[in-house]
Structure 1
Amino acid sequence: MADSRSFRDALGRYPTGVAVVTAFLDGKALGMTVNSFASVSLDPPLVLWSIERSSERYGIFENATHWGVNVLAADQAELAHACALEADLAQCRTGWQGEIVPLIDGAVARFTCRAEAVHPGGDHDILLGRVIDLDTPRDVPALVFYRSGYCEPG
């Protein structure tokens, strides 16, 4: 097996979508940028994403009963970068709405999920959620992460 840098570089050759996973903690809208979001099942509607157990943001999601997945638009690369550095959505200068989870303005798809299960996966946990609501507010290209950079598909 190659070293971890080679492994990471090889994984970077697979383009992924970019999302901000969000939740409320103590009444505050918080989130983090991820590229590990994926569908699991249509019936029931299940999705997953993963988080490193040693992440300073792990505590936001480990006991959350609900979380949101906000698939970002190609014009939201600055927001993706901001949410990678800062958890507080107010500090990331983005608008959002929602009572169950924060749903980010301008996203191309937004999923409200009820936490279903957490599965260990190496140094990460895989969070499985049941989609209880969704919308697709914008019909524009999604943001893509490829070879350590943001881009538009195509």
Structure 2
Amino acid sequence: MEKIEQTIDDRLFRQAMGSFASGVTVITTKSNGDIHGMTANAFMSISLQPKLIAISVDHRAKMLEHIREAKKFAVNILSDQQKEMSMYFAGQLKEKRAISFEELQGVPVLPKSATSIACQLYNEHEAGDHTIFIGEVLGITLEKEAPLVFHGGQYKKIVPAIN
């Protein structure tokens, strides 16, 4: 296979990836007795049998070692009422807050999320400056909430299309 090289600057790449509307998630885990969370939009389903999902974590993120330590994590797909949770776990809100968590299959989850998915670490793969964690689904909570969406560097809500 012929390798094609093209210089694409980081800003152009980010803008291109930002043109893909995605849901907003907070990844949660518990290691060394403490609960940890990180906002992420790099999440996808992988397999139905077994039920597998994937998340991508930057090598500089503290969450990388927390997931490796815990061997379990949850993906909390945020509702359109949880923008502040996204901002908090992305480090955009600096003041400390008391965050309430529930538990799903022994993994901390954020209440009132549109969906929470608890996983056992199935595998991991290094890919560039990130590690892709594949999780085997242990449990799911599903609420009837609209998801929070991120597109073009902004939070958005889903509005029904006019037919």
- Whether TM exceeds 0.5 here: the answer is yes
Q: Secondary structure at the match of 1:74?
A: coil
Contact kept, 8 Å, 1:23 with 1:60, in 2: the verdict is yes
Find the partner of 1:139 among 139, 144, 150: 144
| Alpha-carbon offset, residue 58 of structure 1 | 2.2
> Given the superposition, is the C-alpha separation of residues 100 and 151 from structure 1 closer, same or farther in structure 2, using an over 3 Å criterion?
same
Find the partner of 1:118 among 124, 140, 157: 124
The residue that corresponds to 1:40 in the other structure is 46
Q: Secondary structure at the match of 2:90?
A: helix
Find the partner of 1:60 among 57, 66, 82: 66
The residue that corresponds to 2:35 in the other structure is 29
The residue that corresponds to 1:150 in the other structure is 155
Scaled by the length of structure 1, the TM-score of the pair is 0.91
Find the partner of 1:20 among 17, 26, 30: 26
Contact kept, 8 Å, 2:31 with 2:69, in 1: the verdict is no
The residue that corresponds to 2:102 in the other structure is 97
Runs of 5+ in structure 1 lacking a partner? none
Find the partner of 1:69 among 55, 66, 75: 75
2:12 maps to a residue whose letter is S
* Residues 54-96 of structure 1, C-alpha deviations (whole Å, 9 max, x = no match): 223322123321101111000100110001118xxxx444321
* Residues 93-149 of structure 1, C-alpha deviations (whole Å, 9 max, x = no match): 43211161111111011111000011011100000000011111x212100111111
Structure 1 residue 84 corresponds to structure 2 residue 90? yes
Contact kept, 8 Å, 2:38 with 2:90, in 1: the verdict is yes
Runs of 5+ in structure 2 lacking a partner? 1-6
Distance 2:70 2:62 in 1: 15
2:130 maps to a residue whose letter is H
Scaled by the length of structure 2, the TM-score of the pair is 0.86
Q: Number of matched residues?
A: 149
Find the partner of 1:49 among 55, 58, 61: 55
1:100 maps to a residue whose letter is G
Structure 1 residue 107 corresponds to structure 2 residue 113? yes
Larger Rg: 2
Contact kept, 8 Å, 1:36 with 1:50, in 2: the verdict is yes
The residue that corresponds to 1:9 in the other structure is 15
What's the RMSD between the two structures over aligned residues?
Answer: 1.4
